[in-house]
Amino acid sequence: MPTFRTWLNVRRRFITPFLIVVLFVFFFFARTFFFQTLHFFQRPLVASGTWISHQYQSAFGSRSVNPEEFARLLSERNQYAVERTEMEAIKSENEVLKKELGFLQQRKMKGVPASILSRTVSNQTSTFIVDAGEKDGVIVGAAVIVEDGMFVGKVARVDQEQSIITASTDFQLATGVSLLNKTRTIGIAQGAAGNLIELKFIPADEQIFPNDLVITSGLEDRIPSGLIVGVVNTVRPEPEAPFQKAIVEPLADVRRYHHVVILVPAL
């Protein structure tokens, strides 16, 4: 009489081949379905790739670009970039010069146009050299402006053909200014950190507010009144002190300009 173990061995002998056949059939049909699905999604992508290839061939031809032609095209591209840059620079300079000329005509002032040759900028120092000097009528202490009479500094030193300008944000430069408020408050503007200007010696009883305009007072020799210095950013009252301070933001950042005008006495 067959035992249970013998019966189990016989059953396993028949079931194992059957499972192998079933798994083989399953993977065969699954593989066929997978590749059919993949082919379905590939067809539009292959078609689009073929269309792009045809368009490229029709636009550029089937020939390859030789090194000489590539070098020529690269040179033309670089030349175009240079010409575009020069054109934009000239356009910007012309707009600035028109504003400066209009200001001089309106105020009946004489100005010497000058190009900035070099700059020296640090945390406390801001100076630049221009290509105008004694031969052009430039004198020490003259005001330097950009655009519509925006004050950016004073002439510190003059040579025959060049001058050194101290910017309004330099710690060593002090300028007499006034505010365009009801009382025309007078103070001293001096360079401060962060390319800003500090307004000092403002009487404590004077009312000043953010956004008040600051202009030159005209109390200095060779610095006419009404040149725009900047706008009040922050007011700093000092309790029990006779004066208060304010931080002024210049309306013109001379670091962004390549040309300035030096105001000189009219003959």
Least confident span in 13-22, 45-54, 114-123, 191-200: 45-54
User: Confidence band (pLDDT; 50, 70, 90) for 65?
Assistant: low
> What pLDDT does 233 receive?
93
- For residue range 137-173, list pLDDT tens digits in order: 999 999 999 988 889 999 999 999 999 999 999 999 9
Question: β-strands 243-250, 196-203: how paired?
Answer: antiparallel
- List the domains of the chain with CATH numbers: 90-264 (2.40.10.340)
Query: Which pTM does this prediction carry?
Result: 0.62
Count Cα atoms within 13 angstroms, Cβ side, for 251: 18
Concatenating the DSSP letter of every residue in 239-265 gives TTSSEEEEEEEESS-GGG-SEEEEEE-
Cα separation, 106 vs 152, whole angstroms = 19
- Match 């997978």 to its residue by tokens: 34
Q: Are 97 and 115 contacting, i.e. CB atoms less than 8 angstroms apart?
A: no
| Residue range 67-102, pLDDT digits in tens | 888 777 777 777 777 677 667 666 666 666 666 666
Query: Locate tokens 């020529």: which residue?
Result: 72
